[in-house]
Amino acid sequence: MDIVFHEGTKQFHLFNDKVSYVIGIFPNGEPGLLYYGKRIHDREDYSYLINYEFRAMMVGKPDNEVFSMEMNRCDYPSFGTSDLREPAFDITYENGSRVSNFQYVSHEIKDGKPGIPGLPAVYTEDDAEAKTLNIRFKDELTGMELILSYTVMRDHPVITRNARFINGGDTSVRIEKAMSLSIDLPDRDYDWIQFSGAWGREKVPIERKLDEGITAVRSMRGHSSANHNPFVILKRKNTDEFQGEAIGLSLVYSGNFVTEAECDTYRTLRFMTGINPEGFSWKLDPKEEFQTPEAILTWTEEGLNGLSQSIHRLFRKRLSRGAWKEKERPILLNNWEATMMDFDEEAILKIASKGKEAGVELFVLDDGWFGKRDDDTSGLGDWYVNTKKLPGSIGGLAEKIHDMGLMFGLWFEPEMVNPDSDLYRAHPDWILAVPGRERSLGRHQMVLDMSKDEVWDYLYERMHSIIEEGKIDYVKWDMNRTISECYSNGTPAEEQGKVYHRYILNVYRLYEKLIADFPELLFESCSSGGSRFDAGIMYYAPQTWGSDDTDAVERLKIQYGTSYGYPISSIGAHVSEAPNQQTGRITPISTRAAVAYFGTFGYEMDLNKVSDEEFSEIKKQIAFMKENRGLIQSGDFYRLLSPFEDNYCSWMIVSEDKKKAVFAYYRILSEPNSAHRKVRLKGLDRDRLYHFDGSEYYGSELMEIGVEITEAPGIEWKTPSGDFVSGVFVIE
């Protein structure tokens, strides 16, 4: 790993064992991306990659018309000069001009990777793990400065990027667009994969061929959203799960975003991501700075599984932080589907006690413990314990839960408020709403204006007080509606374009402060399920509720899609009751657990109401998870059969030393007289002998011949016949 600067050519080469990233300063002083991809040899001069040519309708420098930014690969393209594709940034100056001319001034190369104040980012624990390049550019006419930051990681095939704008002039400017990363690739021969959906059906992989024009996903919802995710893959046409070139682009941000690919008519491709410019406008006064979020580029030639595994390792080891970063996550029991908001202390203790008997380690009290909160129409925002339900307050209940030998967790939805609440009656100006216009409701609630420091102060004081009183071990942080009517009361008109971004910065600040106060606290992010499941939130909460849809069949798709860009340890996955509350489907409890094992495992039910037979099964499931969760949450994950393409789904996780694996397959619907079907395993040592399903096989056999997963006619199958069946096997 190194960053080499060639003084004579003003070119930078960032590389590690896997990738190279070559930047050159173009004749006009702007940065160009000369190469990105598989590691290449270093050399003094890559200028042969700069295009000098004359084309009709092309514009260039006054003294050099054969050089044009339009015909070259830019690294952070500007607006309005000789490059007329989508710009990475857009600044409006005092005179109304939007043309900038940032020219190279200087650079610095440092060991390690600095953090980004107020924003989540990949980090290092040792300066030897990374090198960082900061390149400074200046627009002499306006005094504006731009610092582009690049980090190459030693142990990961990753380049991280961010940008910082500094107003060194005498007048205010307005930043209308500021991408975190933009790269130009020399051809467009890629397929685009996005991860889209909606509540209850999150992260469906959608693949399309790139062609002339712009392909994009974005959020305008105030959070990253279940509809489109800020993670996108570009893959070569012949790339599959286990071979071929692919690029992953992750935005480390939880608010409005855009990720887009622009194919021009010269067959080149521009790929960028950052804060969505729609609704964004940042007035920058003299001496002020604006910092973009971080973006992460991951490259592989080992297929989509190889790409995912690289991202999983990076996120587990160098994005998640704190006491729970790589620690085995506790098996939890949540009361929500058991009681909703209709409970008292006696009912809660009875559920928790049964959970302890089953082997559960963490009990979580969900919505309904505060204010006048018997349904979702009132009380939200009144973060004071309802002592009619909990006579001993949170502290009394928590003490009884802890005395059982259980950890205690609590649900919050800090960013929202009901109109029927004491908080709203006292502070109607604390919500996001446009004066004189109707105020939209979602789930009977409005959005608190988190861009206001006084709102942050109230939420911090209440959450800190309750967490401290109950010695809380776990917090489920929910957000159950999107932002509409994004207007901050009392904020000047010229500052309204900052509200969306300030909102998410204060969400991050609240997380950061509570983590500092309670470093052993485990956070799980939730946004009506997976609507804020992104790399940004993983910096604060190492796990996120995968979806409110707990149906095992639907969860196969949700967890399969999520695994492309996020580690298994980050996916909250629970066993719930049947018929399922979201779909009405009845699936065996064995299959519900077989899906939920591949995530952070728990239960959403009253275990007092299950049969003796099911309770015995639940105890076995918990014992299995305790035995294998270390491997499941930290091993290499392989997708084997896609539920989006087949009646079957299969995946497996292999330990780093390849001595142990957990393999699972699922048949969704029964098939009469079905054909023989084998699935080839992956990631094992070819020459080792493995114990599998009562027999012994070499790794080469399991990977090249495979495992039979269909029901042979006339032969009793390993698992029950019928719909929604599964098999989970430990391979050693």
Note the pLDDT tens digit of each residue in 351-381. Answer: 999 999 999 999 999 999 999 999 999 999 9
| pLDDT given at position 58 | 83
CATH class label, 2-318: mainly beta
Residue 9 has pLDDT above 70, yes or no: yes
Distance CA 626, CA 333 (A): 15
The angle that helices 453-470 and 393-403 make with each other, rounded to 10 degrees, is: 40
Residue 56 has pLDDT above 80, yes or no: no
Domains 2-318 and 648-731 share a fold: no
DSSP helix, strand, coil percent of the chain (3-state; round to 5) = 20, 30, 45
| pLDDT given at position 62 | 82
Distance CA 622, CA 331 (A): 8
Which CATH superfamily groups domain 648-731?
Answer: Golgi alpha-mannosidase II (2.60.40.1180)
Note the pLDDT tens digit of each residue in 165-220. Answer: 999 999 999 999 999 999 999 999 999 999 999 999 999 999 999 999 999 999 99
Concatenated DSSP letters of 54-68: --TT---BTTBTT--
Mean pLDDT of the chain: 96
Q: Exposed, middle or buried: residue 350 (CB in 10 Å: 0-12, 13-18, 19+)?
A: middle
Note the pLDDT tens digit of each residue in 555-601. Answer: 999 999 999 999 999 999 999 999 999 999 999 999 999 999 999 99
* pLDDT grade for 64, boundaries at 50, 70 and 90: confident
* pLDDT grade for 59, boundaries at 50, 70 and 90: confident
Identified catalytic residue from 367, 548, 549, 551:
548
| pLDDT given at position 720 | 56
Distance CA 381, CA 431 (A): 11
Residue 388 has pLDDT above 80, yes or no: yes
Question: Which CATH entry fits the domain spanning 332-415+453-481+520-634: 3.40.190.10, 3.40.50.150, 2.60.120.260, 3.20.20.70?
Answer: 3.20.20.70
Mean pLDDT of 477-496: 97
* pLDDT grade for 491, boundaries at 50, 70 and 90: very high
Mean pLDDT of 99-121: 97
Q: Exposed, middle or buried: residue 83 (CB in 10 Å: 0-12, 13-18, 19+)?
A: buried
Distance CA 249, CA 229 (A): 11
Residue 409 has pLDDT above 90, yes or no: yes
Domain ranges of the chain: 2-318, 332-415+453-481+520-634, 648-731
478 is catalytic: yes
**For the ranges 75-84, 87-96, 259-268, 394-403, which has the lowest average pLDDT?**
75-84
Q: How far is CA 483 from CA 4, 421, 454, 480, 499, in A?
A: 45, 19, 19, 10, 11
Q: Name the amino acid, one letter, at 350.
A: K
367 is catalytic: no
Mean pLDDT of 657-684: 93
Asked if 345 and 352 touch (Cβ cutoff 8 Å), the reply is: no
Phi-psi region of 119 (alpha: psi -120 to 50; beta: other; left: phi over 0): beta
Q: What percent of the chain has pLDDT over 70?
A: 99
Note the pLDDT tens digit of each residue in 533-556. Answer: 999 999 999 999 999 999 999 999
Residue 716 has pLDDT above 60, yes or no: no
Residue 712 has pLDDT above 90, yes or no: no
Identified catalytic residue from 367, 449, 478, 549:
478
Q: What percent of the chain has pLDDT over 90?
A: 94
Distance CA 237, CA 210 (A): 10
